[in-house]
Amino acid sequence: MLNCSLIINRLTPTSQTLLITHKPHLLPPNQSTVRSMSSSIQHQQQVQSVSEFLTLIPYNPPSWASKLNPIPSKKFNLGTFPTPVHRWNLPNLPKDCERDDLSGMQLSGNKVRKLEFLLADAVAQGADCIITIGGIQSNHCRATAVAAKYLNLDCFLILRTSKLLVDEDPGLTGNLLVERLVGAHIDLVSKEEYSRIGSLTLTNLLKEKLIKEGRKPYVIPVGGSNSLGTWGYIEAIREIEHQSGNGTIKKSFDDIISACGSGGTVAGLAIASWLSELKAKVTAFCVCDDPDYFYDYVQGLLDGLEAGVKSRDIVKIENAKGRGYAMSTAEELKFVKEIAETTGVILDPVYSGKAAYGMMKDMAQHPTKWEGRKILFIHTGGLLGLYDKNDEMASLVGKWRRMELNESIPRVDGTGKMF
């Protein structure tokens, strides 16, 4: 059994990281500022051009990604980018965390980056509705439902649940509440049906049904993880590279660590880090299936971009699924609680929580492998998934008590009477 407190407190100080401060450019540029930003003028121009929310803009890839094919022609501005890199207070462990959980309100998380490209393609194809598929608490499905509504598109979700619950109202917990508030159409399938039929066939069945009804559906795969969606995290590497080059930090990172649930985020991080000057080693902790499955899946995404590189040469994939997808051990949930209590950063139990748990377990077991490395952890969001773990988390949270009062305490009004 892994003792989370021991991991946090007993590791030797081997992993050295840099502090990144997220500072908006509000002051007039001076000569030194101009020099420090000269290497990222192209990125600055693009950031300025996407300043308006929901704008559909022409897309210009980083120069180092210009030989990938196909290159998307347009993207939507759906997220709040660049996301900041924060220091989280983990003694003797990686200090820097890319906060993609802060990429937007309802859209928070890594899926927003993919949707910027996928929904631009949907609109270009004249779609009037979006179909996607995932687990009952899918962050991707929630983000897609909100983004579709932003763009005045209907959204149809196929959600996987247990055979005991497939004929019941799914409720309003976590991501489901947001999906149903924005009017997403929900079809439930059992895990057994999902396994037997497959996500591609399920989405195609719904697509054919909607076409017969006169609709124009656009299908987004599980997690938004196809070659087009991969561009979202190619852009993320350009963003990190820009933060490194404009003086926000002095040096780049040796390692980038992320969760892996459908493969698209990891594929984008890996190919972009490999092509760019960043050259950070990408390590992914998979939260479902197994590393061999994801090496093959990521390879397919890379081949779809004509990248000309083997997935095993540019990313290391470790297993961190534990009991299984979206199933948590007591140790994993305790770890999420301890991280929140220690740092104020809330990890989700399905993706970033398992990835960080796997990362710290690996650092505890193999400290020399990480010695002296500058590490950036990607927080991929998923806060709403915690609400599905209420019962399991109850014993871990702080106690409450009735405040002791007596009748002799005099009344003194503050701001508002609140009744």
Instruction: Give the CB-side neighbour count of residue 289, counting CA atoms within 13 A.
Output: 16
Query: Over the Cα atoms of the chain, what is R_g?
Result: 22
Closest CA to 159 of 116, 129, 193: 193
**Is the separation of the CB atoms in 151 and 55 below 8 Å?**
no
Dihedral pair phi/psi, residue 289, rounded to 5°: 50, -135
Give the C-alpha separation, 126 to 217, whole Å: 9
Q: Residue type at 331?
A: E
Give the C-alpha separation, 287 to 341, whole Å: 23
98 pairs with which residues across the strands? 85, 378
Give the C-alpha separation, 302 to 295, whole Å: 10
**Is the separation of the CB atoms in 150 and 141 below 8 Å?**
no
Q: Is 118 helix (H, G, I), strand (E, B) or coil?
A: helix
State the catalytic residue, choosing from 138, 227, 252, 328. Answer: 138
Q: Cβ of 419: how many Cβ atoms within 10 Å?
A: 3
Give the C-alpha separation, 88 to 97, whole Å: 7
Contacts of 212 (CB under 8 A, 6+ apart): none
DSSP state for residue 383 in the 8-state scheme: G
**Is the separation of the CB atoms in 374 and 253 below 8 Å?**
yes
The edge-to-edge listing of strands for the beta sheet with 129-135 is 185-190, 154-161, 129-135, 217-219
Residue 138 is among the residues annotated as catalytic for this protein = yes
**Which positions are annotated as active-site residues?**
138
